[in-house]
Structure 1
Amino acid sequence: MKETRLQLAAAALNQTPMDWDNNLQNIKDAITEAITNNTQLLLLPELCITGYGCEDMFLSPWLSEVAFEKLLQIKEWCESITVAVGLPVFLDGKVYNTACVIKNKEIVGFTAKQFLANDGIHYEPRWFTPWPANEVHEFQMLGQTYQIGDIIYEEQDVKYAFEICEDAWRPNRPAERHMPKGVQLILNPSASHFALSKTDVRYRLVVDASKKYQCAYMYANLLGNEAGRVVYDGEVLIAQNGKLIRRNELLCFKNVDMECAEVCFSDNPEIAEVIEYLPPIDENKELIAALSLALFDYMRKSRSRGFVLSLSGGADSSLCAVAVAEMVRRGIESLGLLSFVAKLQMFSLRDAATIEGLTKEGAQRELVNRLLTCAYQGTINSSDETFNSAKGLAESIGARFYSWTIDDEVRGYTSKIEAALERPLTWEQDDITLQNIQARVRAPGIWMLANINNALLMATSNRSEASVGYATMDGDTAGSISPIAGIDKAFIRQFLIWAQQELGYEGLQYVNNLQPTAELRPAKEAQTDEKDLMPFPVLNQIERLAFHDRYSPEEVFNILSEQNIAEPEQLKAWMSKFYSLWSRNQWKRERYAPSFHLDDYNVDPRSWLRFPILSGGFREELAKLKG
């Protein structure tokens, strides 16, 4: 074949479901930037007109109608360029997830997704209908006739086709059919959620496909916290014949992040630039990048003015505080100080000028002070160590810090119930009640601060605690967002050590020398979380084997027995506690504040894992285990 060179571009976009102004502005900015770079073919992410996370709104015909009207606006921006843009199309009572190709202000056709994601956090078959392979139909919309289906396109004699996100993850992927038809370029518009180390899998998917099919492969993902729970890393990849040509920096704070490359198409294409990809991935760096971006988008898209945190001095609330500080540091690094402040949309011009006049470190501390308010709420059971931990961390990052005690409130509620019952409440008889009232009366005061500040209250539950219901409902679970509920306790503890050593958060030195404790029982009992539950590494292993790997209780026991993590009777006791607490506390998980999906699984029933509120509680399975 003759040699053809195409200037290709792919852009990650930070979209929001049904936020038409934002979504179209990002699309327009991407098209404008691509035209400025003399791009001939631009790829935009999956469903970027509507946003991917519209959920059951996709079933409303009007949504697709509005999306089509927006598409007609977009096509007028596509002068002398070809653009692939994603939107739902409603036909004959069915909804199709499509990529529309616009060439020089004309709609060429719609490719419809053939394989729908239906595992983990994905429920696409609830909304969309898969398109059959090798079929192309016509449909009419607003008086015009268009093609939709499994279409092969051409750009300057270079044939190209699509794999839309999940299409590429299946063994019988569309590329298998495209190559015999002379396709030289595959475009993949995606909404591929972030999970720790997932980028490595995605990289291999793209680069290996370009090698196997001897083609160029271009990939564009969504970016940021789109709809509340799911984070997108904004990955852009351009590869050819097994070599990576372009890859962007993931999880940036931009609205549009584009990569461009001139790609040669011939029998023996010239590949001038190659990027070396060097795993392994540092999951601590990945976590804080995803968490900080997720918080930033959640805050600004909910039109909130910062965060409020009940800072206990323990590991979980400390991570939440550091995440806000990192949100500020990374946001400034990604956007520049003025652009970051402007994107917050919460400062006057005078305030922005004041912040701009400070040193880099001073500006970061000032922004953290304005965006994060912390309060330590002590009781007679609290220790000097946790107070010093909370105060020291808040001061080190510049957060606003308050401190008060809640003993009067605890005594008030306790005395009322004692009078009603005509008996005193004792630790011997009323242990859980006396623990819970301390956690629960912390909620009203911290909610007041959140309301006063028009801010988001951060709940501090982690995944390990959520699994066994080790939390007080309407107490430490209270919040607008539960940012670390998708991360296990063991990972959090090692992360905080890493953050102190590698990110320089010296204020973490206090919490890193403490054993996790709820501090709800009298100090003489030396309460710790692991004493109440079990070692967190064991809890996490049981949880993963049971719900990620889907083993039965007997299989979980056999696997852990082979690892010799404990004596058989001790292991059985831990397993019995885990499964009993898990089953008993599904109602709590149903009521937790929204959380981010950060790992390869989570226990959020609105996201990754559904479980009945009422069940048999694994009684037969645990009885069999005990023999």
Structure 2
Amino acid sequence: MGHLITLATWYGFALNQWSLDFQGNLERILASIAIAKERGATLRVGPELEIPGYGCQDHFLEGDTVLHSWEVLAKILASDETLGIVCDIGMPVIHKNVIYNCRVIIHDRKILLIRPKMWMADDGNYRETRWFTPWMKPRQWEDHYLPRIIQAVTKQTKVPFGDAVISTLDTCFGVELCEELFTPSSPHIPMGLDGVEIFTNSSGSHHELRKLYTRVELIKEATLKLGGIYLYANQQGCDGDRLYYDGCAMIAVNGRIVAQGSQFSLSDVEVVTATVDIEDVRAHRTGRSRSMQGASSENYPRIEVQFALTRGKFEEVKDEDSAGVLGPKYYDVKFHSPEEEIALGPACWLWDYLRRSRTQGYFVPLSGGIDSCATSVIVFSMCRLVAEAARRGDMTVIADARRMTGEPQDSTYVPSDPREFANRIFHTCYMGTENSSAETRKRAKQLSEAIGSYHVDLNMDSVVTAMRNLFGLVTGIRPQFRSQGGTEAENLALQNIQARLRMVLAYMFAQLLPFVRGKSGGLLVLGSANVDESLRGYLTKYDCSSADINPIGSISKTDLKKFIAYAQHAFDMPILESFLKATPTAELEPITETYVQSDEADMGMTYDELSVFGRLRKVEKCGPYSTFTKLVHEWGAVLSPTQIAEKVKLFFFEYARNRHKMTTLTPAYHAESYSPDDNRFDLRPFLYPARFPWQFKKIDEVAAALPDRSNRKAKTD
């Protein structure tokens, strides 16, 4: 080579932090620093707000959260693990009585800089300005006076607080926090033009189907034009809410990914490493236009540290670090298919929830339909991940599995067989009535056998009959189904009581099945309502969709079908084919020679159409009229304007009159951008003028005036 070899190894981390678990979070942070040092790292970057956990929400407003964060930081600073390495650590900090989301840069028991977040995430799942204030003084820093517990360790009274960068003996690095990468004018641009060569990004970014591509492209773009090294660290796991933070820590150089961590993992600490040449960055930045812009850029305040991030000239590279230099130059980014994401993301979320709630397993009411089937297959996917981790010798996973299965402390049990492990912690039940078919009962039993769950099969007609008889005794009227001559009100009430009784029975069995099996503790009940049914309100309030948590509550029926088709082969489960072929039905009305209840017929629209309505309503922010105008173009070759108008009006009427059901939705894994999760992700009222008289009138007027293109399309076909 015609220039000095300046090799450096940096580490980004994915940590499975838990909100308010200060002891556990401290242990995971120290473990990550120890791993980094063991492998020769000079810079360690962790996820956003890693000391208290990202998802503390209104706990960030409590002084205790800030106090305990300082106490944890004091232990980190005092630890020998932090000597000889620069660490970038996240926590809330109160500066001049204002709470900031900060990165604290430390080295050799000193705080070099406290860098507050400048741009807040305030949409979708995020409400950061509810708890934090953005730093509104770019390229400025102030003195921050440290609490005494920190002064006792660092011997510092005050440290720089604000927007600055760290200048080492050999390079310069700057901090970017999560949302700042997603903003149009990101801090890495002015930092890079002022000579910053390394950018760290500490993130709390959640999983959503098909979202990772956007994040990867932004990380690549950050250094493609600018040049530089980008270190991205992310939270991984469920830290106490509906979100699963999907890790995927990455390192990019000059617009190319050179290292990537896993997106889904049961590990508490995961390391991403790459060895790169700083001279590659300097060579990339020799363009004349970039040089002219850099020469005229404003200066960033620099905090100097007498420490080098790079190795010395021609220093030997460790074997585990050599791949980035001696092996393949760049890394092919791994993207999971949506079906794989459904198999992995909710499964990891379920595992974290199960082990951290310290319960003994899950319970699912199996209906023989595709939704409860998908929920059960996701639980089985969790068992597969546990078995894989156990076979790798992951003692944390093994210890959690032993505890929840009731094994004694000296047990040698290893959950290496997913079906055997499922039989210990997963319980299913088919709750049949006279309206149930033999086919659904058979499918439920065969699925439980394929998965390995502890299965119960029962008929609940006596319970339903008792409720009908009680009503008749009190009122003198015994309600009848529609097919038996009853009214719509009677028909609906008889369907709803079956669904609600299943919820009551589910909780009774979840509490007592471990006792029946000679074990202690209870089970968590899993819901199985998909996002489309919730959006349309096609569920009974407080029925068996009411549960403790729901792994599919934000996944569309369309995606669930694709997932089941994938799992049929990936998990070697031929029984899943029968679920794909079955007509979706609630089986709450009597089956006759001329009538079999069908979900899509009851709803007046298909599940695919519901997905379209959901995206237009939430993602594209369309009301009834703009939904109609868009669909006239999208569906106009198949349906007439008046037919489209009727579908749009039906959807918004049913959505509006059932919106109150969203206030009681089971907390669900967030996976879809059009989730109707009330007052959390979807901030909309629940009392509507459900017939939208103004909006629907305008739709009807426009529909009547538009030409019918569907007839012309039919003729050309």
Length-normalised TM-score, structure 1: 0.96
Q: Percent identity?
A: 29
The answer on 1:559 being equivalent to 2:627 is no
* Structure 2 equivalent of residue 268 of structure 1: 283
Superposed, 1:416-565 pairs within 5 Å as: 416-427=470-481, 428-429=486-487, 430-452=490-512, 453=514, 454-524=522-592, 525-533=595-603, 534-562=605-633, 563-564=635-636, 565=638
Superposed, 1:136-535 pairs within 5 Å as: 136-143=141-148, 144-266=157-279, 267-268=282-283, 272=326, 273-277=328-332, 281-336=336-391, 339=395, 340-344=397-401, 345-349=403-407, 355-356=413-414, 360=416, 363-427=417-481, 428-429=486-487, 430-452=490-512, 453=514, 454-524=522-592, 525-533=595-603, 534-535=605-606
Q: CA deviation at 1:139?
A: 1.3
> Aligned partners of 2:451, 2:57: CA distance in 1, in Å?
38
> Aligned partners of 1:21, 1:329: CA distance in 2, in Å?
29
The answer on 1:93 being equivalent to 2:151 is no
Relative to structure 1, is the Cα distance of residues 342 and 315 closer, same or farther in structure 2, using a 3 angstrom cutoff?
A: same
Q: CA deviation at 1:561?
A: 2.5
Q: CA deviation at 1:493?
A: 1.8
Q: CA deviation at 1:353?
A: 5.0
Deviations 1:481-506 (A, max 9, x none): 01111011122122212211333222
Q: CA deviation at 1:457?
A: 0.2
* Structure 1 equivalent of residue 708 of structure 2: none
* Structure 2 equivalent of residue 102 of structure 1: 106
Residue range with higher mean Cα deviation, 439-448 or 614-623: 614-623
Relative to structure 1, is the Cα distance of residues 354 and 75 closer, same or farther in structure 2, using a 3 angstrom cutoff?
A: closer
Letter in 2 for 1:559: K
* Structure 2 equivalent of residue 50 of structure 1: 52
Q: Tell me, what secondary structure is at the counterpart of 2:404? A: coil
> Aligned partners of 2:135, 2:207: CA distance in 1, in Å?
26
Q: CA deviation at 1:600?
A: 2.7
> Aligned partners of 2:348, 2:376: CA distance in 1, in Å?
14
* Structure 1 equivalent of residue 667 of structure 2: 594
Relative to structure 1, is the Cα distance of residues 180 and 275 closer, same or farther in structure 2, using a 3 angstrom cutoff?
A: closer
* Structure 1 equivalent of residue 43 of structure 2: 41
> Aligned partners of 2:621, 2:198: CA distance in 1, in Å?
39
Q: Tell me, what secondary structure is at the counterpart of 1:163? A: strand
Residue range with higher mean Cα deviation, 391-400 or 581-590: 581-590
Cα RMSD after superposing both structures:
1.9
> Aligned partners of 2:334, 2:36: CA distance in 1, in Å?
30
The answer on 1:619 being equivalent to 2:687 is no
Residues 10 and 41 in structure 2, CA contact (< 8 A), matched pair in contact too: yes
Residue range with higher mean Cα deviation, 512-521 or 582-591: 582-591
Gaps of at least 5 residues in structure 1 are none
Residues 25 and 51 in structure 2, CA contact (< 8 A), matched pair in contact too: yes
Deviations 1:188-236 (A, max 9, x none): 0000111112211111111221222111110000001112200111111
> Aligned partners of 2:101, 2:566: CA distance in 1, in Å?
42
Residues 584 and 598 in structure 2, CA contact (< 8 A), matched pair in contact too: yes
Letter in 2 for 1:64: V
Superposed, 1:130-141 pairs within 5 Å as: 130-132=134-136, 133-141=138-146
* Structure 1 ranges of 4+ moved more than 6 A: none
Deviations 1:499-555 (A, max 9, x none): 113332223122122111000011122111000011111121112112221112122
Residues 99 and 131 in structure 2, CA contact (< 8 A), matched pair in contact too: yes
> Aligned partners of 2:389, 2:660: CA distance in 1, in Å?
40
Q: Tell me, what secondary structure is at the counterpart of 2:125? A: coil
Relative to structure 1, is the Cα distance of residues 69 and 279 closer, same or farther in structure 2, using a 3 angstrom cutoff?
A: closer
Q: Tell me, what secondary structure is at the counterpart of 1:441? A: helix
Q: CA deviation at 1:44?
A: 0.5
Residue range with higher mean Cα deviation, 58-67 or 456-465: 58-67
Residues 104 and 113 in structure 2, CA contact (< 8 A), matched pair in contact too: yes
The answer on 1:84 being equivalent to 2:74 is no
> Aligned partners of 1:371, 1:474: CA distance in 2, in Å?
25
* Count of residues paired in the alignment: 623
Residues 506 and 544 in structure 2, CA contact (< 8 A), matched pair in contact too: no
Relative to structure 1, is the Cα distance of residues 56 and 278 closer, same or farther in structure 2, using a 3 angstrom cutoff?
A: closer
Q: CA deviation at 1:399?
A: 0.5
Who wins on radius of gyration, i.e. which is larger?
2
Gaps of at least 5 residues in structure 2 are 149-156, 285-323, 515-521, 702-717
Residues 260 and 333 in structure 2, CA contact (< 8 A), matched pair in contact too: no
> Aligned partners of 1:287, 1:101: CA distance in 2, in Å?
37
Q: CA deviation at 1:351?
A: 9.2
Deviations 1:4-39 (A, max 9, x none): 332211110001100011111110110111111111
> Aligned partners of 1:447, 1:490: CA distance in 2, in Å?
29
Letter in 2 for 1:528: S
